[in-house]
Structure 1
Amino acid sequence: MGKEMKGYFVGPMPAGDFLQEFLPTSQIPDYDPSSFTSAFAVGTFNRTVSVRNEEHAYTPFINAIKPFAPQLSFVDTHKYEDTKNCSKLNSKVFNIKPDVCVYPDGCEPSSPNCDVSTTEIIIEFKWSPSHDAFRQPGADSLVSQTEKGMDTLGQITSYTAAQLGTQFRTHVFSVLIVRDRARIIRWDREGAIVTSPIDYNNEPDLADFFYRYARASPEMRGVDTSVMLAGDEEADL
């Protein structure tokens, strides 16, 4: 799936410009810049970036990011595939098991399994630069041309395809973390826009993304508010 999608990515877009374009603070009434500034400090994610492998990064990352987005629930799902929705999609391609799923607070599944039909944001971790789906700024192409990078691209694309296939959305956001660098991705049904890499332990953009997203309107988050669930009478037709 990565090879099929490689021509549909645009970027890298500077993270600050990305946030202002897609989550502008002027349209988030509850955004308090002084509150965010006082919450973020260099070294906020020290315990995340200092671990030796990605499996040990999930919990410290969740603990560090929660204060910025208490309206969201961050759940470690790396061992628990989505058995509810993937069986409906009936394809091995969508047998997904994201590292961390982000749900609206109080809406996380009762079981530990991922539920992509209610997930707001999917976060994927890699711990070796060789697995990065994207190349560094200045390269002649955005998308990695290596086999491992292409595998990662296919992986995050399959997650988004499953998410868009089970929700009424105009767009979704996801995050790819490669050790001490993160990229935010905005996906719609035509392609994706990718930020430049964020040194998230020293730069505020990733934390600010979650701070803004948690306080943004459903439309800004990507919920298609033009769609309404059918009533009982309509459902029986």
Structure 2
Amino acid sequence: MSSHTVGSSPGKHSLTGSRQHSAAVPDAKTKRKNHVYDMSGKFAGPMPADTFLKTFLPLPRSTLKTRKAATRECSEKILPPEYKWVNTATTMDEKEGGKRRSQLVDMGLYHSDHVPYSEQNGSPPKPRWDRVMLCAEFKSHANTNTMDPFEDDPTKWSEAVSQPRQDMRGQIVGYAAQMLAQQHRTHVFTLIVLGAWARFIRWDHSGAVFLERIRYAQCSQQISEFLWRFVKSSRQQQGYDETIKEIVKDSTEYNLLLAARDANEEQ
């Protein structure tokens, strides 16, 4: 487990300089390098799978009684109709400043009310960092070890030091930073799949906790149970800040804001 502290966590990291109209907009490679530095010493783990689930996604005993049958199903059957996985591996959010500066997250889990849809010309959907609930990144079997951002060996520092593994860590830090910056969240989760292995990471405004590497190809039930617990959890457990109330279009609050704006313009 890391112990020293450098820089800032993803929730506290300033996005100044990373916007399209900033004076200096770093490219994706530079962003990842900065993220690695900012998060150095702010990871805890590896945490055993059972402990991770019970700590971060606890559920009432009455709900847990139904999980065995549910988690034997594939992830598509586990997810209720209001949750959708969306492939955004080849698209970007232009607000990040163009292709060289954008992050291409492979998949995102969305509520059906906020699913990003394809453009009219048939191009793939673009990620919605302001609405994505959970991010997932996938690497091939050939990159199982070379791209794993963490170490499970207790004799080694938990943050892998080779350059490709640092780059991968910077990549997933970037995803968490975008979610925490563009949403009212207390914490977020990401999934990384490394060939036959996988990890979940929980990020908050002070750092992150990573799951021990699990061989999901032989024991997919652990991933299924995480997803099942996630969709069964409250919004607060999923990481949404319930002290914040969204102002919905055409609501009373929305109309009051419009009225106040119009009154101010008339003065």
TM-score between the two structures when normalised by the length of structure 1: 0.80
Q: Which moved more, 1:107-116 or 1:172-181?
A: 107-116
CA contact (8 A) 1:31 1:212 kept: no
Partner of 2:87: 76
Partner of 1:96: 103
Give 5+ residue unaligned stretches, structure 1. 41-63
Which has the higher relative contact order, 1 or 2, with Cα contacts under 8 A spaced 6 or more apart? 1
Percent identity of paired positions between Structure 1 and Structure 2:
27
Q: Closer, same or farther in 2 for the Cα pair 1:28/1:223, shift >3 Å?
A: farther
Q: How does 1:1-80 map to 2 (within 5 A)?
A: 1-26=35-60, 29=63, 32-37=66-71, 39-40=72-73, 64-70=74-80, 71-80=82-91
How many angstroms apart in 2 are the aligned matches of 1:27 and 1:152?
37
RMSD across aligned positions (CA): 2.3
Shift of 1:136: 3.0
Q: How does 1:161-200 map to 2 (within 5 A)?
A: 161-200=177-216
How many angstroms apart in 1 are the aligned matches of 2:132 and 2:63?
24
Shift of 1:27: 7.3
Give 5+ residue unaligned stretches, structure 2. 1-34, 119-124, 248-252, 262-267
Equivalent residue pairs, number: 209
Q: Which moved more, 1:177-186 or 1:2-11?
A: 2-11
How many angstroms apart in 2 are the aligned matches of 1:109 and 1:4?
30
How many angstroms apart in 2 are the aligned matches of 1:222 and 1:194?
16
TM-score between the two structures when normalised by the length of structure 2: 0.72
Pick one of 115, 134, 140 that aligns with 2:128. 115
The letter for the 1-side match of 2:76 is K
The letter for the 2-side match of 1:123 is A
Residue by residue over 1:202-223, the C-alpha shift from the partner in whole angstroms, topping out at 9 and shown as x without a partner, is 2221111001111111011001
